[in-house]
Copies of this chain bind each other. A is one copy, B any other.
Amino acid sequence: MRGAVIHAPGDVRFETLDDPKVLHPTDAVIRTAVTCVCGSDLWPYRGAEPIGDPHPMGHEYVGFVEEVGSAVTGLRPGQFVVGSFATSDNTCPNCLNGFQSNCLHREFMSTCQAEYVRVPNAAGTLVALDEVPDESLWPGLLANSDVMGTGWWAADAARVRPGSTAVVVGDGAVGLCAVIAAKELGAERIIAMSRHESRQELARAFGATDVVAERGEDGVARIKELTGGIGADSVLECVGTAQSTAQALHSARPGGSVGFVGVPHGVTVDGQELFFSHVGLRGGPAPVRRYLPDLIERVLSGRIDPGRVFDLTLPLDRVAEGYRAMDERRAIKALLTP
């Protein structure tokens, strides 16, 4: 089969690879229906994370079950499944506590920009749909496997409540999905921080009531202006840089909460500053599996349409173009069709 392989910063190639096989009794192999490029794939692509030897890429997927290991229950070939970028047995203490992305047997998916994918911990990771959904719903379901689940987690970790004010830092796919989540969780006011017109538009379509184009401390000052000088109840940090994190922390009101879901790069938090702010902070890799049944239902019913974050569709063999378009911010997120 064929799939994407990163060789060096800026160098993603579409190559012939070994066909994935069931290696452990708990594995499944799926044929990808659609897959995509993630904002976090840009960290190594831009040289901000070491690459080491050339290796496959991709952790977002929906697809059809091809084969299951002998210990996999509840799945059978032909089913349409949605998974998570982090696999989980869904039975360990962390899974039972709702943190499947910290499963004791967790493996991160990393080979999904390909025609076929091996999924470890298949029974606890994959959610099978009753029937194959209409193709128009595949992008939304694919978004659930990472960016929509991560946006939901940002809103959950930031304790968005009905009637509250939420600020979303970051206008990538996760930030845009975080707007959806804030709206679904009842935020009355949703302030999207974005300076790109097409992303501002999508944020508004998803439920943002205000858009702030300023960044850094200027952005914080605007948030304060919009919130009676106090700051927001909830801030959803969807970038992961030192600047975006500071901006998020400074935008929250005393007693407010920051949910941070962009993998932190070069971020440290000063204990005394956090102390005197009274701001709560929680983040991490999203426990997508916890939210999947609910998010799938919201997509199937048409209540939410996170698939709109895909503004570029390419055949899988042109995956390198997807990286390039996202790196240059010409595309929010690239959908790949095998």
Q: Which residues of A contact B (CB under 8 A)?
A: 93-94, 97-99, 101-102, 157, 228, 230, 240, 245, 253-255, 257, 260, 263-272, 274-285
Contact = CB atoms under 8 A, between A and B. Distances in A.
A282 B284 contact: no
A310 to B, nearest CB: 26
B280 A271 contact: no
Given A102-B254, A253-B97, A268 B269 contact: yes
A105 B271 CA distance: 23
Contacts of A254: 94, 97, 99, 102, 284
B281 A263 contact: no
A260 to B, nearest CB: 7
B282 A279 contact: yes
B269 A264 contact: no
Contact of A269 (B98, B157, B255, B274): B274
A156 to B, nearest CB: 11
Given A93-B228, A268-B269, A102 B255 contact: yes
B267 A271 contact: yes
Contacts of A267: 270-272
Contacts of A283: 274-275, 278
